[in-house]
Amino acid sequence: MLAPVLRAPSGPSGPAARTARVLSSPWSRLSVLLALLAAAAAAVVVYEPQHLLSSGWPLRVAGPAAVALYAAGYGVCAAAFVPRPVLNLAAGALFGSQAGLVAALGGTVLGAGIAFTLGRVLGRDALRPLLRGRLIHAADGQLSRHGFRSMLAVRLFPGVPFAAANYCAAVSRMGYAPFLLATGLGSIPNTAAYVVAGSRAGSPDSPVFLVALGFIVASGAVAAVVAWRRRHRLASG
């Protein structure tokens, strides 16, 4: 009598299991990330959510609740590539300098966290093997070894676009805590300048507005110089 043939139990083969296996592929997750980013960019172009926020949405909410809701909307919009200067100016115009700064900084950290999470979960495994070249290698090493210090410098001198910094940090070995803390602290000066300018936009000849505008122009010039010098140092190192 022939002994029964023993077979190793096979894994689940239903639609849900096949979908899970496909999504577990790094390149599949990267494709999902790219699709999400493309959809977000298209939504920004079509619906222009920055105008919705700058018009005072939500119209029936006031006080701390309005500030919190604005920060939440700001975070989603910032993660979807809406320019932060526009959102910062709107925060100042809607809430004034103090509450506007709270809303803008909260939204900045939230938007950075959303982008960092998406990049870390969906894109990191596929992109890390592609980190070749001296400049890319040096930037990855800097963020991985000196994450807080490097991200603080990036936020203080905003020569690197907000979204690019978020996704570069996500692909590196930088942790959540230093990334979010450096983002919050480093974004204060530039964000405050835009918020103050937005709060005083009705009186463009006031000293406060002129000081805020001067800071914005000066920080942009310094950022350009720092970015050029850093790129030159990385290329020669």
Which pLDDT band, with edges at 50, 70 and 90, does 171 fall under?
Answer: confident
Other C-beta atoms within 10 Å of 75: how many? 21
Average pLDDT for 67-79: 92
Dihedral sign, Cα of residue 152, residue 153, residue 157, residue 159: negative
User: What is the distance between the alpha carbons of residues 191 and 189, in angstroms, rounded to a whole number?
Assistant: 6
Give dist(CA 38, CA 44) in Å, integer. Answer: 10
Q: How confident is the model over 208-236, as a mean pLDDT?
A: 76
> Does residue 141 carry a pLDDT above 90?
no
The ranges assigned to domains in the chain are 27-236
The average pLDDT across 199-212 equals 86
- pLDDT, greater one: 77 or 229: 77
pLDDT band at 133 (very low <50, low <70, confident <90, very high): low
Closest CA to 106 of 72, 137, 66: 72
Higher pLDDT among residues 143 and 81, named by residue: 81
Question: Alpha helices of 62-187 — where are they, by DSSP H?
Answer: 64-79, 84-118, 124-127, 134-145, 147-156, 162-171, 176-186
Among 49-58, 85-94, 142-151, where is mean pLDDT lowest? Answer: 49-58
- Pick 96 or 146 by higher pLDDT: 96
pLDDT grade, residue 37 (50/70/90)? confident
Q: What is the mean pLDDT of the chain?
A: 80
Predicted local confidence at residue 25, as pLDDT: 75
pLDDT given for residue 225 in this prediction: 77
Contacts of 125 by beta carbon, 8 Å cutoff, 6+ apart: 26, 29
Assess whether pLDDT exceeds 80 at residue 212. yes
Burial letters for 21-49: b for 16+ Cβ neighbours within 10 Å, e otherwise? eeeeeeeebbbebeeebeebeeebeeeeb
- Answer whether the bond into residue 58 is a cis peptide, omega within 30°: yes
Give Cα separations from 98 to 38, 70, 91, 169, 196 (angstroms). 34, 14, 10, 29, 9
Mean pLDDT across the stretch 183-188?
Answer: 95
Task: State how far Cα 185 lies from the chain centre.
Answer: 14
Average pLDDT over residues 40-68: 77
- Using CA atoms in the order 103, 109, 115, 121, what is the torsion angle rounded to 10 degrees? -130
pLDDT above 60 (res 135): no
143 vs 82, higher pLDDT: 82
| Per-residue pLDDT at 1 | 47
- Percent of the chain predicted with pLDDT > 70: 74
Reported as a pLDDT band with limits 50, 70 and 90, residue 237 is low
pLDDT, position 137: 62
- For the chain, the maximum distance between any two Cα atoms, rounded to a whole number of angstroms, is 101
For the segment 42-61, the average pLDDT, to the nearest whole number, is 72
Task: Give 47 or 64, the one with higher predicted confidence.
Answer: 64
